Amino acid sequence: MIKARNMMTQEVITVTPNFGIREAAKLATSKSVSSLVVLDNGKPIAVVSERDIIRGSLLKKTKVRDIMSKKFRIISPDTTFYEITRSLKERNIQRFPVVDSGRLIGIITETDIVEATRDFTRFHQIMQDVILAIFGIATAFFLFYFSPLGAALFG
């Protein structure tokens, strides 16, 4: 089973609640990320998305604490792909900070989930191709073995 540690992004860009919205926007843009994790005393307390930053700017908010979203779920590195996708579907949670021993070690976003799904699908397709090749070879062998030519050679 795929676990969070195998699909998370390890470089997490973080801010504090007192960070300014403009500074947060510049940081997200410079690092090419769509969300920032808000830390308080080293622990994730919220997430700020591009949408939050835009909405906050339109509403003339000035600090991350005014716009941060607490709609996220902290997970462990051993959380399964199934649990993550279930939270995504049922609770509409789109960001999952990964915490191990009280320390932020990664984040999983919808992009990471899509990539993991794509990798799993590729692996599944390769396995199907291998199985079909094995069955094809076995079928060819038995057709040849039981054919008149095969009976003459092996019989």
**What is the CATH number for 13?**
3.10.580.10
Q: Are residues 102 and 120 in the same domain?
A: no
Q: Which of 94, 110, 126 is the last residue of a domain?
A: 110
**Are residues 91 and 132 part of one domain?**
no
3-state secondary structure 100-151: ECCEEEEEEEHHHHHHHHHHHHHHHHHHHHHHHHHHHHHHHHHHHHCCHHHH
Q: Please compute the mean of the pLDDT values over residues 115-141 and round it to a whole number.
A: 87
The per-residue pLDDT for range 24-70, each reduced to its tens digit, is: 999 999 999 999 999 998 899 999 999 999 988 888 888 999 999 88
Q: How confident is the model at residue 92 (pLDDT cuts 50, 70, 90)?
A: confident
Tell me, yes or no, whether 79 and 128 share the same domain. Answer: no
The residue range of the domain holding 9 is 4-110
For residues 84 and 18, membership in a common domain is answered with yes
Q: What is the pTM of this model?
A: 0.74
One domain, residues 75 and 29: yes
Same domain, 20 and 76: yes
Q: How many residues does the chain have?
A: 155
Domain count, the chain: 2
Same domain, 88 and 146: no
Residues 101 and 141 in one domain: no
Report whether 8 contacts 106 (CB < 8 A): yes
3-state secondary structure of 39: strand
pLDDT (0 to 100) of residue 75: 95
103/124 same-domain check: no
**C-alpha to C-alpha distance for 31 and 88, rounded to whole angstroms:** 24
